[in-house]
Structure 1
Amino acid sequence: MSIIQVRDVTKVYNKEQVPVHALNGVSLDIEEGEFTAIVGPSGSGKTTLLNIIGGLDEPTEGTVEIHDTKIFSMSESKLIDFRLHHIGFVFQAYNLIPVLTAKENIAFILQMQGRPQKECTHRSMELLKMVGLEDKVDKRPSELSGGQQQRVAVARALASKPDFVLADEPTANLDSASTANLLDMMLRLNEEESITFIFSTHDQRVVERARRVVTLVDGKVDTDEERTEKNIEH
């Protein structure tokens, strides 16, 4: 069963002056447990599509349903609350809060949900162990490498036990070793915890590990490839 249904989504920026068509009638279903890469040249609409699936940007036309909920039919406040409880985000620039420790960055999401402090602490520690950073609990972002910061960002994205995680160019600022470690960790979470990951990426290293590759060209789905295990690099 699809957890995400994108139907005939179009996005036009700057409509009143010189229109820019970022997406042109994209339709897509995402199943639970997928490890999917959305790829394509710069300007093909990858990040726009990810932002629309995540409710961060609104389509000009078309609908997005998450578990049969049309997210753009909600009020802004209800959509914010829906994102908080149902969608995890990992960004290229990590977006960690500089003055907070690794544990506090993860707990912050749970605190926004109104969870008890004891639960926030327990879940944060559990996640840091899951991503291999139990020894970095009290380190601030400036004291962590890029790869470690991105691992904290993944842990934060998983804090609320979301329906899926959207990762926008998560390896763009990482070296090869950090990228390999991050992707291995995400694959393990996908396989062992059935966490659904959807990537927007230029990185061939991500594409090589993906089980499904959706290629956008000029804002449209050009190809949609389900990949067999023998074609996937580990």
Structure 2
Amino acid sequence: MAVIETKGLKKTYNPDKVPVHALNGVDLKIEKGEFTAIVGPSGSGKTTLLNIIGGLDEPTEGTAIVKGTDLSTLSDSELIKFRLQHIGFVFQAYNLIPVLTAIENVAFIMQMQGRPSKVCHDKSKALLEEVGLGDKINKRPSELSGGQQQRVAVARALSSTPDFVLADEPTANLDSVSSTDLLDMMAELNEKEEMTFVFSTHDQRVIDRARRVVTLVDGKIDKDETRE
């Protein structure tokens, strides 16, 4: 069974005024352990696709099925819980909580899951060490570089032990060295732990690393290339 499957996915914004067809019939399957880049020009529907797969937006037509569950069948509260248990998110703007330290930011998701405090602390510390920030656990986001903040965001995404991680332009605000370091880390997690990553990106460095590249044009899949 695919980890992610979309069937006839369509999304239209402003349908009663000037309609914008962000997605226009997307059929896609992503299996466990894939390292996939969703690419295409601005306005092609990349972020919309990720948002619908992640349960952050609803399609106008079609279905998004995650771990065998049609997301449209879930209530708002069920969807929040489902995202919390199954999906990790890494955003372009990091989305860290400014008043929390690195370790508190990572622990936050696990606390929402209701895990014991010691488990949250110990796992958060281990994850930050794994992403190379063992000496920054008590720093707040304002005290970290962009690359370091994005590493905290990745650790946070992994803290819930998700079935896959959605990364929307994760290198957009990073310099070349930080981007390379971040991609090295994600590739290692993918290879060693079979963590599934799905990227929305313009960054050629991400595209070069991906083992599958899905190209969207005008809300449709134009190409779907798998690499060895």
Task: Classify the TM-score, shorter chain.
Answer: over 0.9
**Whole-angstrom distance in 2 between the partners of 1:92 and 1:160:** 20
SS at match of 1:136: coil
Which residue is 2:24 aligned to?
A: 24
What whole-Å deviation, never above 9, does each CA across 1:174-233 have from its counterpart, x for those lacking one? 0000000000000000001110000000000000000000000000000000012xxxxx
**Whole-angstrom distance in 2 between the partners of 1:7 and 1:151:** 33
| Pairing of 1:149-168 with structure 2 (within 5 A) | 149-168=149-168
Which residue is 2:83 aligned to?
A: 83
**Whole-angstrom distance in 2 between the partners of 1:151 and 1:84:** 19
Whether 2:148 is the aligned partner of 1:148: answer yes
| Pairing of 1:18-97 with structure 2 (within 5 A) | 18-97=18-97
**Whole-angstrom distance in 1 between the partners of 2:72 and 2:143:** 39
**Whole-angstrom distance in 1 between the partners of 2:163 and 2:72:** 17
**Whole-angstrom distance in 2 between the partners of 1:174 and 1:110:** 27
**Whole-angstrom distance in 2 between the partners of 1:213 and 1:52:** 19
**Whole-angstrom distance in 2 between the partners of 1:63 and 1:197:** 20
TM superposition shift of 1:28? 0.1
Which residue is 1:231 aligned to?
A: none
Report the TM-score when normalising by structure 2: 0.99
**Whole-angstrom distance in 1 between the partners of 2:49 and 2:67:** 18
Structure 2: give runs of 5+ residues left out of the alignment.
none
Whether 2:206 is the aligned partner of 1:206: answer yes
Structure 1: give runs of 5+ residues left out of the alignment.
229-234
Give me the CA root mean square deviation.
0.5
- Report the AA paired with residue 116 of structure 2: P
TM superposition shift of 1:130? 1.1
What whole-Å deviation, never above 9, does each CA across 1:139-175 have from its counterpart, x for those lacking one? 0001111000000000000000000000000000000
TM superposition shift of 1:35? 0.3
Q: How many positions carry a matched residue from both structures?
A: 228
- Report the AA paired with residue 23 of structure 2: L
TM superposition shift of 1:100? 0.4
Report the TM-score when normalising by structure 1: 0.97
